[in-house]
């Protein structure tokens, strides 16, 4: 047994969305302070996992359990999970009719913590006047997401495609801030280049609603880089078990 | 009452009474049988005048404050209070109401100023419907505000229409006459005594904004179950004049129907901001209309309705552009309960050079937004109230802080009720 505590522990998780089973027996453990990257093709269920951990009611757990620091999350409402320190930076946050600066203040008040926006926005004043995600550029949306979750005294950070739709400068800036943090992280991504700026411990490939491969981040991402999903999974001998016609990876 | 009125006015009333039998049912809103109010008098014949608003019972003061009236009269230039049919208080605040502003009870003004005949039912058609005819026939009281040329009143003038008697109809006819390049803000609150039941408020207000003048009218309504409300408002905005209307309904009513209509001359502007909390079994039918008669006139109508419980809300808007003008109309409804209902009827009509736009939407709170806010640690109730606040907020600068706090409370309660 390691002396490091399991932060997030997901066992045999089956999740249904609008009657469709998206996750089918997913297992994942993230220990304290670890950073994991979850990759997989489109529609493999990456965001579904993020929303299920966060507790969105439309994502129904049919089987299995999610525990955070030993506590069962399955039936806890979203806000309770947020207050436990589970945070999610959304891939596409919705536009909300609330002034950005006022919203940050509301979060700060709730978590008795002050957010440092200076690092994220060179144009803070401009940012402050606008409504949440209203007319934000791709990079602004992601930076605003980070400001929000860092104001929440997070313990567990889920980053849903923080690297998509942003320019390289934004990505560098955000990675620099994140790299200093000690919280455990689950990074959902399509791409490997976030690894150039952010230390990541483990990687998992998601497919068919479960984790197909787990291992050292560098090794797995190098493998995908070299062979592609299809080739890499073949190389590992995983695809042999798969009935080819339902395979989303190998087409 | 008949005694001292000028002959023209007495004739007006006699004709209106004759006409009332055939008067048209209003185009919109539920029909109120007016017969039941005819001949009714308030429970006390003569209202006692008061010297200071603080003389009022604490429970009355609380009601007044709920519609933005300041009992201490701070930050106000003058105060008015009409209880049922009588003006019981009307005073300028010393040093704050400039000379050149005349305020009085409308009945007094009619006796005093013969020229008022030229303004009497001149912008509001007296035969528009049975309510306008009813006021023409039976009006009592109302506030008359006359701001002379170039006079600017910095602080709002507060007026309050208070319903005390049950099964009674209050029928004020008010005037705001802003002479050229004058400026005034009228803050009027309408509310009821906590013991009062099943009464009505049928009013006519005529507003004349002359060249380069600016009139702001902020109207806050806090009624209660069982009240029928028909404020009929006509506004004429002359060249380069500016009219801003802020209307806020915070309580349940039996029914409200209003369709304030502004006619704009060249370079004139009008803005209507309306925030409605449609609660209980309220039947609300509110629209605003702007007729752009003069070139380069501009206007905007923005309505936000929060529809709760089993309330019904009809939002109307009408922009009529007959010259080179620009106008925008927004009707937005947020439905917070399964049995609530909302409808939007935006109407635009334009000649070639007019530029008119509209935006209408009715919907409920989206799960996506709710999840998002909850993931930031807000409970469902808090998230709902944040979203409601964001929805209804029209950034009305003139709103008194007590009313803002009241809105916050109403929103929190609405959010609680909707979950």
DSSP one-letter string for B85-146: TEEEEEEEPTTTS-TTEEEEEHHHHHHH-GGGGGTTTTSS-TTSSHHHHHHHHH----EEEE
Whole-number Å distance between alpha carbons of A192 and B400: 55
Determine what percent of chain B is predicted with pLDDT higher than 70.
96
Whole-number Å distance between alpha carbons of B266 and B379: 51
Is the Cβ–Cβ distance between B217 and B186 less than 8 Å? yes
Per-residue pLDDT, averaged over B255-266, amounts to 97
Greater model confidence, A41 or B390: B390
pLDDT of residue A241: 56
DSSP letter at B152?
B
Using DSSP, state whether B350 is helix, strand or coil: strand
Per-residue pLDDT, averaged over A135-159, amounts to 92
Residue B400 in this model has a pLDDT that exceeds 80: no
Is the Cβ–Cβ distance between A156 and B375 less than 8 Å? no
pLDDT of residue A250: 45
pLDDT of residue A123: 64
Is the Cβ–Cβ distance between A139 and A166 less than 8 Å? yes
Q: Which of residues 153-192 of B touch A (CB under 8 A)?
A: none
Residue B254 in this model has a pLDDT that exceeds 80: yes
Whole-number Å distance between alpha carbons of B364 and B307: 10
Whole-number Å distance between alpha carbons of B373 and B392: 17
Residue A84 in this model has a pLDDT that exceeds 90: yes
Per this entry, what is the length of chain A? 251
Whole-number Å distance between alpha carbons of B249 and B239: 31
Per-residue pLDDT, averaged over B185-211, amounts to 95
Confidence category of residue B407, pLDDT binned at 50, 70, 90: confident
Q: Count CA atoms closer than 13 A to A203's CA, side-chain side.
A: 20
Determine what percent of chain B is predicted with pLDDT higher than 90.
83
Residue B38 in this model has a pLDDT that exceeds 80: no
Residue of B nearest to A99 (CA): B390
Would the CB atoms of B375 and A54 count as touching at under 8 Å?
A: yes
Per-residue pLDDT, averaged over B3-24, amounts to 92
Per-residue pLDDT, averaged over B366-386, amounts to 95
Q: In the numeric block, which tokens belong to residue B342?
A: 């909302």
Confidence category of residue A80, pLDDT binned at 50, 70, 90: very high
CA distance B240 to chain A (A): 31
Greater model confidence, B48 or B348: B348
pLDDT of residue B365: 93
CA distance A78 to chain B (A): 6
Residue A81: list chain B partners with CB under 8 A: 375
Q: Count CA atoms closer than 13 A to A145's CA, side-chain side.
A: 29
Residue of A nearest to B387 (CA): A97
Confidence category of residue A129, pLDDT binned at 50, 70, 90: confident
pLDDT of residue B1: 47
Q: In the numeric block, which tokens belong to residue B414?
A: 């609405």
Per-residue pLDDT, averaged over B81-99, amounts to 94
Residue of B nearest to A88 (CA): B375
For A96, which of B369, B380, B393 is closest by C-beta distance?
Answer: B369
Left, alpha or beta for B3 (phi > 0: left; psi -120 to 50: alpha)?
A: alpha
Confidence category of residue B9, pLDDT binned at 50, 70, 90: very high
Q: In the numeric block, which tokens belong to residue B280?
A: 């209980």
Residue B212 phi/psi, 5-degree rounding, is 70, 5
CA distance B384 to chain A (A): 12
Would the CB atoms of B368 and A106 count as touching at under 8 Å?
A: no
Whole-number Å distance between alpha carbons of B209 and B183: 9
pLDDT of residue A251: 37
Residue B379: list chain A partners with CB under 8 A: 77, 79
Select from A83, A24, A33 the least CA-distant residue to A52: A24
* Beta pairing class for A156-160 and A86-89: parallel
- A contact test, residue of B369, B377, B389 with most A CBs within 10 A: B377
B389/A contact by beta carbon, under 8 A = yes
pLDDT of residue B121: 98
pLDDT in tens, B205-247: 999 999 999 999 999 999 988 999 999 999 999 999 999 999 9
Confidence category of residue A2, pLDDT binned at 50, 70, 90: very low
For A97, which of B367, B368, B390 is closest by C-beta distance?
Answer: B390
Q: Across-strand partners of B347? A: B318
Using DSSP, state whether B413 is helix, strand or coil: helix
Q: What kind and span of H or E run contains B412? A: helix B401-418
State the average pLDDT for chain A: 87
Place of tokens 């609680």: B416
Is the Cβ–Cβ distance between A195 and A212 less than 8 Å? no
pLDDT of residue B46: 63
The model carries a pTM of 0.87
State the average pLDDT for chain B: 93
Whole-number Å distance between alpha carbons of B312 and B334: 12
B395/A contact by beta carbon, under 8 A = no
B387/A contact by beta carbon, under 8 A = yes
Place of tokens 């997070």: A154
Whole-number Å distance between alpha carbons of A71 and A73: 6
Residue B387: list chain A partners with CB under 8 A: 96-98
Is the Cβ–Cβ distance between B266 and B297 less than 8 Å? yes
Per this entry, what is the length of chain B? 419
Greater model confidence, A88 or B226: A88
Using DSSP, state whether B217 is helix, strand or coil: strand
In chain A, which residues touch B (CB < 8 A)?
A: 51, 54, 56-58, 77-79, 81-83, 87-88, 90, 93-94, 96-98, 103, 106-107, 110-111, 131, 148, 152
pLDDT of residue A245: 44
Would the CB atoms of B376 and A107 count as touching at under 8 Å?
A: yes
Would the CB atoms of A82 and B376 count as touching at under 8 Å?
A: yes
Per-residue pLDDT, averaged over B119-126, amounts to 96
How many inter-chain contacts (A to B, CB under 8 Å) are there? 62
In b/e form, how buried is each residue of A173-202, taking b as 16+ CB within 10 angstroms? bbbebbeeeebbbbbbbeebebbebbebbb
What ipTM was estimated for this complex? 0.93
CA distance A110 to chain B (A): 8
Residue B366: list chain A partners with CB under 8 A: 94
Q: In the numeric block, which tokens belong to residue A23?
A: 């996750």
Q: How many helices (H) and strands (E) does chain B have?
A: 7, 21
Select from B161, B171, B164 the least CA-distant residue to B197: B164
Radius of gyration in angstroms for the set of CA atoms belonging to chain A, rounded to a whole number: 18
* Beta pairing class for A59-68 and A6-17: antiparallel
Residue A3 in this model has a pLDDT that exceeds 70: no
Would the CB atoms of B386 and A106 count as touching at under 8 Å?
A: yes
Would the CB atoms of A93 and B372 count as touching at under 8 Å?
A: yes
3-state secondary structure chain A: CCCCCEEEEEEEEEEEECCEEEEEEEEEEEECCCEEEEECCCCCCHHHHHHHHHCCCCEEEEEEEEEECCEECCCCCHHHHHHHCEEEECCCCCCCCCEHHHHHHHHHHHHCCCCCCCCCCCCHHHHHHCECCCCCCHHHHHHHHHHHHHCCCCCEEEEECCCCCCCHHHHHHHHHHHHCCCCEEEEEECCCHHHHCCCCCEEEEEECCEEEEEEEHHHHHHHHHHHHHHHHHHHCCCHHHCCHHHCCCCC
Greatest mean pLDDT among A97-101, A212-216, B13-17 lies in B13-17
Integer angstrom CA distances of residue B268 from B184, B251, B320, B328: 16, 33, 14, 15
**CB under 8 Å to B415, separation ≥6 — which residues?**
B336, B381, B382, B384, B385, B388
Q: How many CB atoms lie within 10 A of CB B358?
A: 16
Residue of A nearest to B365 (CA): A96
Residue A1 in this model has a pLDDT that exceeds 50: no
């Amino acid at each position: 047994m390691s002396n490091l505590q399991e932060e997030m522990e997901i066992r045999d998780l089956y999740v249904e969305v609008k009657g469709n089973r998206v996750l089918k027996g997913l297992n994942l453990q993230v220990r304290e302070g670890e950073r994991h990257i979850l990759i997989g093709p489109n529609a493999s269920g990456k965001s579904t996992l993020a929303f299920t951990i966060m507790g969105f009611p439309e994502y129904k757990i049919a089987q299995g359990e999610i525990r955070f620091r030993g506590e069962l999350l399955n039936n806890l409402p979203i806000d309770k999970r947020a207050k436990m320190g589970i945070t999610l930076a959304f891939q596409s946050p919705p536009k909300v009719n609330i002034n950005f600066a006022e919203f940050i203040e509301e979060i700060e008040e709730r978590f008795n913590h002050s957010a440092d926006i200076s690092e994220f926005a060179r144009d803070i004043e401009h940012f402050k006047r606008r409504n949440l995600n209203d007319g934000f550029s791709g990079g602004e949306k992601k930076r605003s997401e980070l400001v929000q979750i860092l104001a929440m005294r997070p313990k567990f950070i889920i980053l849903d495609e923080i690297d998509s739709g942003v320019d390289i400068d934004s990505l560098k800036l955000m990675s620099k801030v994140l790299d200093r943090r000690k919280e455990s992280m689950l990074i959902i991504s399509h791409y490997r280049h976030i690894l150039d700026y952010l230390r990541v411990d483990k990687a998992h490939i998601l497919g068919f609603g479960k984790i197909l491969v787990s291992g050292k981040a560098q090794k797995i991402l190098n493998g995908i880089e070299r062979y592609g999903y299809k080739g890499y999974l073949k190389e590992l001998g995983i695809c042999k078990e798969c009935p080819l016609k339902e395979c989303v990876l190998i087409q | 009452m008949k005694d001292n009125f000028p002959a023209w006015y007495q004739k007006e009333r006699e004709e209106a009474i004759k006409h009332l039998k055939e008067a048209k049912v209003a185009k919109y809103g539920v029909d109120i049988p007016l017969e039941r109010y005819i001949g009714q008098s308030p429970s006390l014949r003569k209202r006692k005048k008061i010297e200071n608003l603080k003389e009022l019972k604490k429970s009355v003061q609380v009601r007044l404050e709920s519609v933005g009236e300041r009992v201490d009269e701070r930050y106000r230039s003058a105060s008015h209070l009409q209880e049922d049919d009588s003006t019981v208080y009307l005073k300028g605040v010393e040093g704050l109401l400039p000379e050149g502003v005349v305020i009085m009870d409308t009945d007094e003004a009619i006796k005093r100023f013969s020229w008022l005949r030229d303004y009497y039912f001149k912008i509001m058609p007296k035969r528009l419907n049975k309510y306008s005819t009813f006021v023409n026939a039976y009006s009592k009281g109302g506030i008359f505000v006359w701001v002379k040329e170039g006079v600017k009143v910095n602080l709002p003038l507060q007026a309050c229409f208070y319903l005390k008697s049950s099964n009674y109809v209050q029928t004020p006819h008010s005037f705001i006459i802003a002479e050229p390049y004058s400026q005034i803000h009228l803050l009027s609150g309408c509310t009821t005594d906590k013991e009062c039941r099943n009464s009505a408020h049928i009013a006519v207000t005529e507003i004349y904004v002359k060249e380069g003048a600016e009139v702001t009218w902020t109207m806050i309504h806090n009624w209660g179950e069982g009240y029928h409300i028909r404020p009929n408002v006509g506004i004429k905005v002359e060249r380069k004049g500016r009219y801003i209307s802020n209307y806020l309904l915070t309580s349940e009513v039996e029914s409200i129907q209003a369709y304030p209509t502004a006619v704009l001359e060249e370079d004139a502007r009008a803005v209507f901001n309306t925030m409605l909390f449609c609660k209980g079994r309220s039947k609300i039918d509110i629209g605003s209309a702007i007729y752009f008669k003069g070139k380069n006139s501009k206007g905007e109508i923005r309505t936000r309705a929060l529809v709760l419980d089993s309330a019904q809300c009809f939002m109307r808007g009408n922009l009529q552009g007959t010259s080179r003008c620009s106008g925008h109309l927004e009707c937005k409804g947020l439905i917070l309960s399964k049995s609530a209902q909302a409808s939007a009827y935006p109407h635009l009509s334009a000649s070639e050079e007019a530029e008119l736009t509209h935006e209408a939407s009715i919907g409920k709170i989206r799960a996506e937004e709710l999840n998002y806010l909850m993931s930031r640690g807000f409970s469902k109730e808090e998230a709902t109230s944040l979203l409601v606040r964001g929805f209804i907020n029209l950034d009305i600068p003139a709103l008194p802080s007590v009313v803002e706090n009241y809105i916050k409370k109403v929103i929190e309660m609405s959010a609680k009720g909707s979950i």
